[in-house]
Every structure is written in C-alpha cells, then in structure tokens.
A and B are shown apart, each in its own frame.
Chain A
Amino acid sequence: MSSKALLMALGVAAVACASDALDASSSVDVPSGKDFAAVSLVLESNCGTLDCHGHPARNFRVYGKQGLRLFGDDTVGGADTRDDEVRATYQSVISIDPEALSRVRSQGGAGVEGWIVVAKARALQYHEGGVRLLAGSPADTCLASWASGTLDSSSCFTDDFGPIPRAGESW
C-alpha cells in the first residue's frame, strides 16, 4: 500500500470513529443540578484544591472557596463558594463522559464505577491524584448516589478520607 493510500485509510478510520463518538442523534439524561451544592462540597474538598482540579489549566475544573474562583475579584480562601461556582462545577462534571453518566442514571446507579469521574476518584483508572474517594465512603457515596439520580445528601457532609488530622487533634 502506498503511503498516500495508507494516509487516506487512516483518515477514513478516524472519521468513522469520530462520527460514532459524536452521534448527534443521541441524547443524554444527566442528574439534576438542583441538589448539587452538597456534591460540590465533596468535590471542592477532595478534588478542587489549586494543585489538582482547582487549576485553571484542567479541563475538569472544580470551583470553590478554597480552590479556583470563578470571578476575577474573588480570592482563594475569601468569600464562601458562590451559587454560580456551584453551577460552574456542575456544568464541568456533567460534561465529563455525559453518555456514561446518563447510562448510570438510567440503570439506577448500576455500573457507576464505569463513569470516569468515579473511576478516577477511586483510582480504578490511572489518576495522577491517586485514590481521592474510597469506595463506599460517605464522600464516595455522595457522588455515586448523585450520579444514580437518588442523592444521599446525608453522606455529603462527612469527609473521611484517610487519617486526616482534624482541628483540635494533635499531631
């Protein structure tokens, strides 16, 4: 096969793959942003520090008080997380593999580990940040339950990742 023919074949293959992934006729049904503020709290503390997904260079951005701010006149550690920042984080989350997220929701949460956000957080896929949410922990349950469409908001306020020294604890 000549190099020209090879290039053409590769080009056709690439277009075929792209058209499969970008099927305009498909629709997605992602979880609502109505109760997302509780989930946003978990993402802010576990994923959204400036050295991780609170960095403006990341495609999956998490906004919040202790990380990246949405508005130029806000400072890190300044005003509390704003509603607009929660919405921006929501938009960021649902833009990550929305087809898989939609599938998880339609299956009532089954296969949630197949959605890349959960897979990365549990380090089931390579994740530069390693394990950020231990499977079955309250924080993990918060995210996974939201993805399934039945948010367990009581799990969203507990952060039990590792032996984190708490205020008042000596170390």
Chain B
Amino acid sequence: MSEATAADDAVDGDAESTNGSAGQEGADESDEFTVDIQRWLINAFIVFHVCGIIVWNLPNSSLQEGLTKFYSLYMGVSSSWQQWTMFSPDPVIFNTYVTATVHYQNGSTREYTFQRISKLGILAKYRQERWRKFIENTQDNSRPDYWPYLARYAAVTEDYAPITNPVVSVDLFRHQQSIVYGGAAHPEYLTMKMMSEHVISMPLPRPGETSR
C-alpha cells in the first residue's frame, strides 16, 4: 500500500476531501449523505468481490468448499469464476491425441483423427488451438461420460453417405507418449482403446442440421 501515498500521482485522497467539506449545511448535507451511501455501497462491493475471488483461488479444503458454495451464485452471474493452475501443481508429462474408427452398416470403416495441433502451420495453430484444450479436457479417464460425444462427432464429421450407409458404431482410441526428461528420444505412442460406442441410438445431426 505504500505506493498509494506516492506524492506525484496522489491527490489528497482521504474520505473527507473526496466527499466534500463536512461543515456544509442544507442541500449540501443531503448530498453528502448520498455520497456517503455510495461510498458504503462501493466499500461493500469491494470487500464482497475481492473476498469472492480470493475464496475461488484458495487451495482445496472443506472451508474453501463451503465458501465457494456461498459465492457460487455471485461468481456465476458476474462471470468472475476463475482458475489459475496453469501447468500446476505439475505440468502434464504426456503428448496425447485421439483417433476414432467409424464402422458403417455395410462393414466398411473410416479412420478419423481429432485435430492435432503439431501437424498444423503457425497460423492454423493459432486458430485451432482450442482443439488441444478440448481433447485435453475430454479424453481423460476421469470423464468417460464425455466420450460418447466425441464418438458422435467422429461419426458425423466427414460423413458423406449418411443415408445409404449409416454409421453403426465408433471406437475411440487414445494415443499417448511419455515426455522423458533429459532430452533423450521419446518413446513410441502407446494406443489404448477408450470405448466402443454404438452411436446408432444417439441423435446424429448432419453438418449444417440441428438436432432440435
């Protein structure tokens, strides 16, 4: 707070000087009342908001969980929800990508690879980066409930003959390579089958159509 007292950018900033003289009467007094009310409201907002963003960033604990519930409505409506755990507590140590094998009614298959940023040029990397985040957030073993949606997308996209030869099922595969510390050559990608989804039961809008 020491900088607040810096002489060169600080005009006398205490409450009295910014609120006007306390000795004024009549209309000025009511005005001062309004200013005071405003100041109290601002103070209340400052305390509430700053506490909210601090609570949201506290390390996980039962206290934090309880306070988060208290603030959840405000943080949701003000859209101040946040998380700043970039590359922490430890960075991810895998290169990962996801592929799908789409099975058609006539027995044919089609391979689909979800966007791999490493295969793109500089400008495309900028525009397509969200694919990396999306795959990072959906391929994890803790969220198998997201995988049918991945399967659905693989079935729908690049599907040129949906009526005559519909999709029967989709297999999803995760390909993962460990990043080995020390500059040594990284091992080969390991392929794991994530799921085999019978997408026939899911609504499959064609590109350009809506599901509703």
* A complexed with B: no
Q: Give B residues with C-beta under 8 Å from A.
A: none
